[in-house]
Amino acid sequence: MSEQAKTSQRPADVYFFATCVVDQFFPGAGLDAITLLEREGIRVHFPEEQTCCGQPAYTSGFPDEARKVAALQLTLFPNDWPVVVPSGSCAGMMKHHYPTLFAADPARKAQADALSSRIYEFTDFLVNVLGWQPEDKGGDCTVVLHTSCSARREMGVHLTGRKLLGGLNKVKVAQQDHESECCGFGGTFSIKQPEISGAMVEDKVKSLKATGAERVVSADCGCLMNILGHAAWKDKQAGLAQPSLPGEHIASFLLRRTEERSSK
Amino acid sequence: MSARDRILAKLNAAPVLPKAAPDIAAWYQTHRGTESTAEKAARFRGCIEFAHAEVHVVSPASWPQKLAEVLADKQIGKLLVAPGTDHGARAIAGLTSGGIECRGYDSRIEAWKEELFHDIPASLTAARCAIAETGTLVLWPDEHEPRLMSLVPPVHIVLLDAATTHNTFYEAMQSEGWANGLPTNALLISGPSKTADIQVTLAYGAHGPKELIVLLMGEAA
Amino acid sequence: MSEQALNFMPSEGFRARAKDVVENPFLRQSFRGAMDFLINKRITQFPDPEELESLRTLGEQIRQYNLGKLPSLLVELEENLTRNGIKVHWAETPDEANAIILGICQAHSAKLMVKGKSMVSEEIELNHACEAAGIDAMESDMGEYIVQLAGEKPSHIIMPAIHKTKQEIAELFAAKVPGIDYTDNVDELIQIGRKVLREKFLVADIGLSGVNFAVAETGTLCLVENEGNGRLSTTAPPVHIAITGIEKIVEKLDHVPPLLSLLTRSATGQNISTYFNMISGPRKPHEKDGPTEVHLVLLDNGRTQAYADEQLRKTLQCIRCGACMNHCPVYTRIGGHAYGTTYPGPIGKIISPHMLGLEATKSMATASSLCGACGEVCPVKIPIPELLMRLREESFSAPHANPAMRGQGAGYSALVSTIWRGWAAVYRSPALYRMATWLGSRFGGLMPSNQGPWTSVRVPLKPAPKRLRDLLKERG
């Protein structure tokens, strides 16, 4: 293996923090992420007590409620293992906002700081901790990658998804216009300002489709919920039976591409 | 209590921790190099031409002749120029024989505002110095070359000694000690007047000069 | 002239105004095109990410350092301006500022005021105060002139008329400027404006301007502009009145070059503006032009409220470049007028509540997906998303004693607070969470097809039949 140096530091165990969206709406993506990590010889621990990072309340202006929920998650990762999160925005919440959230509570602040240093967004973990280089076993395929705003701006990991896809030699990664622009999800923003959010997701889906890619992949299920939800709505309006823009979590795509006897 | 006292009282009541002074010198030291006079002149020229100024390289001996050519080219028959300055006197000496009417800014604006706004097609002023990084002319208007002289005539011609070009605005104000005393009005000019206010389409000659012409005076022409 | 646009609560009708723009494909395309243009221009100015990052850090340090000394710097500025012959006035409110300016105008029996671009003058609605006092206040920045002629307000702090096409401007000029035939040639339109306004500069009694930086140590007012109208407004009329917010101050002259560089490169992607005008006094006895009187009005209007709180104080770091709105996906979709505030876009969302109170602005902080594009480009590193979350908290929390902001609790709803408390009760309890999500997965098929705003443009959300934890159990 060419990644000996990296391999020697690779952790034997990691925690998996699924996020509430993956647990409830995209469980397959969570399972695929875990399977992929396990295939790399890592023991993946899923603390049963986990719920949500607290971000919905935090960004909506209810920090006290967010704190209560976050306080539970602080207690779930006692061993000094990395915590892998299949979502840039939830990872960003735990890595960057937990320390702020508990600034006035010294005991929890210390826990939050310690946890913060162990939080990894999924693609960041694959690239920068495992040095994972996927071996493409699928056929020719064009995808377009959407990176969430948090993954891009808070976590600085927008390049890792591209790097992983770039390592798949039969996969072409299409370039959409306004790539770095928000899809319009923004949690409660999509409910409170539906017109603006709707215009944003409309433009996002248009630009993704304009690439001609077969599917969109993303490391953030919040964005996928929004993007795929709008694409499906459009299809329904147009009376299409097949989705014009299928999509999935990047973990599912990577797992399938690197499995033996895979077609796509 | 006056508004002043109330505002200051509110500000003083705020719990503010003093912050360390920014190290501006260190930033320029790290991020901006120093260049030779020729390099600075070239950078200056590149930038100001990019901003639509017209630049002519001239020598200390030849510039009045170039000035005459520029005016002839543009069919300008009248120039606002300062007789009380060396360069103004030379310009007048060189131009009057060629039939160019030279007018001085010899009275207070109130006495001839209308004429300045309507009947002066061009002006000549000197630049105090220049800034290479941004292609900028520095003017300190005075009683010989007042503020409106570089602003109201549609064509503004500037005589610049290339040797006075600084690398940066910061270097200009530091090396010339601006903080010890500024004139009533100090100006940086980096091109002809322009606007992009209509459909982000660039148009020149919005309110100030439509044309900016630099006579860049180096060692030799 | 523009009565409809005045005296209303920006929060009221925000969604309706936003909807109007969003549903207008022509406006959508035109804002998108203009913002793309400005975004790309900015990128060309910052080819080196390290230089950009270090310069932004320096900009932030300069602004924070100066805000840290604000009260003493204001006193120092006042002393030095006074020594230079500039009269300094202080105003806590827009009304006070207008009264000061009108007082100066009346002392000179002024009939015509020409205005350089000043967002603070928009903030105090000076044009209306002048109109009421019988003074003709004429905008001279081309964009502002167009907007004033149309009876509208600026839709962008740097590009006031960005919402208008050249054809609309052509029609406007043909209708409103005497003796003008229709032309949609941009050069010709600008020359029309130039001609009209030159005659105004020639005869104006008062020139009004804003201030980009006020330098305390030298007593100098700095103005950034491209057109020359700022220079004309501050030089041609016999009296110059400058107005600025109290935060626009720097202690040292050498604080100016980094901020100027950040400002012009971030705003319009220019390495420097055409003019940078530094004014340190009225005309001296031996000088032949320039105003014989120069005044500075220092305006509070809610800035001291922002100043009192360490986090909210960061709002005052702003140098008004407009990069946050150029990069904002919300601004790009709805333009500046939908906000209903003098300052639109991300900076408008965080500064307007201090000027107008949270009652009038409570919906503004919710109009953000918190994507972070604004904070990423801010040349002085204002953490705009963080401040938006803070404003949401100030708005939605139950009213309490000694609030940090006027109108705290304006968005409070007992129902919404109860919902969030219920949410926290479920999500802080593993058992309740398990139960609730189990129910969701079992009865996901019963989710309504109409899920309110979500399903206006999306298919309904439906929990998966099995949760990740169920799949993991099955897998063993």
pLDDT surpassing 90 at residue A3? no
Interchain CB distance below 8 Å, A57 and C441: no
Contact B133, B32 (CB under 8 A): yes
Q: Give the model's pLDDT for residue C7.
A: 46
Look up residue A130 and give its two tokens: 């495992």
Chains contacting B (3+ CB pairs below 8 angstroms)? C
Find chain B residues with C-beta within 8 A of C227's C-beta.
Answer: 193-195, 206-208
- Taking only residues 80 to 99 of chain A, the set having a beta carbon closer than 8 angstroms to any beta carbon of chain C reads none
Q: Is residue C405 part of a domain?
A: no
Of B168, B181, B192, the CB nearest to C257: B168
DSSP C460: P
Residue C279 touches chain B, beta carbons under 8 Å: yes
Q: Is residue C316 part of a domain?
A: no
Find chain A residues with C-beta within 8 A of C421's C-beta.
Answer: 65
Domain that holds residue C425: 414-475
Look up residue C310 and give its two tokens: 């360490």
> Which of the four pLDDT bands, split at 50, 70 and 90, describes residue A262?
very low
Q: If DSSP codes are grouped into helix, strand and coil, which group holds residue B197?
A: coil
Mark which of C304, C328, C353 sits at the end of a domain.
C304
CATH number at residue C287: 3.40.50.10420
Find chain B residues with C-beta within 8 A of C307's C-beta.
Answer: 10-11, 14
Mutate to test the interface with C, among B198, B201, B210, B212 (most CBs of C within 10 A): B198
> Which of the four pLDDT bands, split at 50, 70 and 90, describes residue A157?
confident
- pLDDT tens digits, one per residue of C348-404: 999 999 999 999 998 899 999 999 999 999 999 999 999 999 999 999 999 999 999
**Rounded distance between C-alpha atoms, residue A85 and residue A48, angstroms:** 15
Q: Which value does ipTM take for this structure?
A: 0.97
pLDDT surpassing 50 at residue B220? no
Percent of chain B exceeding pLDDT 90 equals 95
- pLDDT tens digits, one per residue of A40-72: 999 999 999 999 999 999 999 999 999 999 999
- State CA B204 to chain mean position distance: 17
pLDDT surpassing 50 at residue A165? yes
Number of domains in chain C: 2
Q: Which of A52, A48, A26, A43 is nearest to C469 (CA)?
A: A48
* Residue spans of beta strands (DSSP E) within C159-284: 206-209, 213-215, 220-225, 239-245, 249-250, 275-279
Q: Give the model's pLDDT for residue C444.
A: 80
Other Cβ atoms closer than 10 A to A173? 18
Find chain C residues with C-beta within 8 A of A63's C-beta.
Answer: 389, 393
The Cα of B171 is separated from the nearest Cα of chain C by a number of Å equal to 9
Q: Is residue C382 part of a domain?
A: no
Phi and psi torsions of B218, nearest 5°: -105, -165
What is the residue whose two structure tokens read 């007018």?
A: B103
Look up residue B175 and give its two tokens: 């090396």
Q: If DSSP codes are grouped into helix, strand and coil, which group holds residue B136?
A: strand
Residues C430 and C299 grouped into a single domain: no
Q: Is residue C323 part of a domain?
A: no
Of C187, C254, C278, the CB nearest to B24: C254
Q: Is the backbone of residue C7 left (phi > 0), alpha (psi -120 to 50) or beta?
A: left
Q: From the options 3.40.50.10420, 3.40.50.880, 2.70.70.10, 3.90.1300.10, give the CATH code of B35-217.
A: 3.40.50.10420
Find chain A residues with C-beta within 8 A of C329's C-beta.
Answer: 181-182, 184, 200
Residue C257 touches chain B, beta carbons under 8 Å: yes
Domain ranges across chain A = 4-128, 134-258
Q: Give the model's pLDDT for residue A4.
A: 43
Query: Over chain A, what HEC string results?
Result: CCCHHHHHHCCCEEEECCCHHHHHCCHHHHHHHHHHHHHCCCEEECCCCCCCCCHHHHHHCCHHHHHHHHHHHHCCCCCCCCEEECCHHHHHHHHHHHHHHCCCCHHHHHHHHHHHCCEEEHHHHHHHHCCCCCCCCCCCEEEEEECCHHHHHHCCCHHHHHHHHHCCCCEEEECCCCCCCCCCCCCCHHHHCHHHHHHHHHHHHHHHHHCCCCEEEECCHHHHHHHHHHHHHHHHHHCCCCCCCCEEEHHHHHHHHHCCCCCC
Of A27, A200, A232, the CB nearest to C467: A27
Residue A218's beta-bridge partner residues? A146, A249
The Cα of C397 is separated from the nearest Cα of chain B by a number of Å equal to 23
Other Cβ atoms closer than 10 A to C107? 10
> Which of the four pLDDT bands, split at 50, 70 and 90, describes residue A9?
confident
CATH 3.40.50 corresponds to the domain A4-128: yes
Q: Is residue C397 part of a domain?
A: no
pLDDT surpassing 70 at residue A257? yes
Q: Give the model's pLDDT for residue C329.
A: 98
Q: Give the model's pLDDT for residue C3.
A: 38
Contact C419, C430 (CB under 8 A): no
pLDDT surpassing 70 at residue C5? no
Residues C421 and C289 grouped into a single domain: no
Average pLDDT estimate for C95-118: 97
- pLDDT tens digits, one per residue of C424-463: 999 999 999 999 999 999 988 788 889 999 999 999 999 9
Residue A21 touches chain C, beta carbons under 8 Å: no
- pLDDT tens digits, one per residue of A79-127: 999 999 999 999 999 999 999 999 999 999 999 999 999 999 999 999 9
- At C339, the amino acid letter reads Y
- pLDDT tens digits, one per residue of C32-81: 999 999 999 999 999 999 999 999 999 999 999 999 999 999 999 999 99
Domain ranges across chain B = 35-217
Percent of chain C exceeding pLDDT 70 equals 98
Distances (CA, A) of A134 to A158, A159, A168, C83: 18, 16, 6, 71
Residues C157 and C281 grouped into a single domain: yes
Other Cβ atoms closer than 10 A to C474? 9
Q: Give the model's pLDDT for residue C6.
A: 42
Q: Is residue C409 part of a domain?
A: no
Interchain CB distance below 8 Å, C373 and A182: yes
CATH topology identical between A4-128 and A134-258: yes
Q: Which CATH architecture has domain A134-258?
A: 3-Layer(aba) Sandwich (3.40)
Mark which of C289, C304, C319 sits at the end of a domain.
C304
